Amino acid sequence: MSGETWKNELKKHFEAFKLIEEAKADTLESFSQFCEFIAEPAFESLKEEMRDYGVKVRFREDKGRSINFELSFPGSNTDNFHYRIILPKNAYELKLGLVLRGRRSKSTPLEERVLEFMKELSPGEVMKIAKEDLIRDILERYRDFTFSALTSPV
């Protein structure tokens, strides 16, 4: 192996490293835009509608890496259901995670499930989802959790 060959290999290594770091920065920016233009408007719309049912809603973005939507039990301040979208550490594309947490009653601990966020979507499609699609996903998961909690023998 000549001196020029290993130098070229070293150059390729650092160029690839730079590309990965740029992709990670772009992904972080895309997640921020996803939160601002899709998730927050969806959460705000759902928050307004939930008031009619006595359900308090809170949402917040956490350090640019996740956004959390939290619903209380109807007529209560006790949190009932959490829908958290996560950008995994070192993500170089918008392949997001979803953490669902919920409690079956006001006195039980939160149960947690970790899933893929809308796994049928490719990373390139995430920025194209409509806020209504996100609302439907939240409601479907909230409904399934609530139904399971209300009908579970345990």
Distance between CA atoms of residues 3 and 44, nearest Å = 60
Distance between CA atoms of residues 72 and 33, nearest Å = 27
pLDDT value of residue 153:
76
What does pTM read for this prediction? Answer: 0.88
Task: Give per-residue pLDDT as tens, 80-116.
Answer: 999 999 999 999 999 999 999 999 989 999 999 999 9
Domain count, the chain: 1
Domain that holds residue 136: 3-151
pLDDT value of residue 2:
63
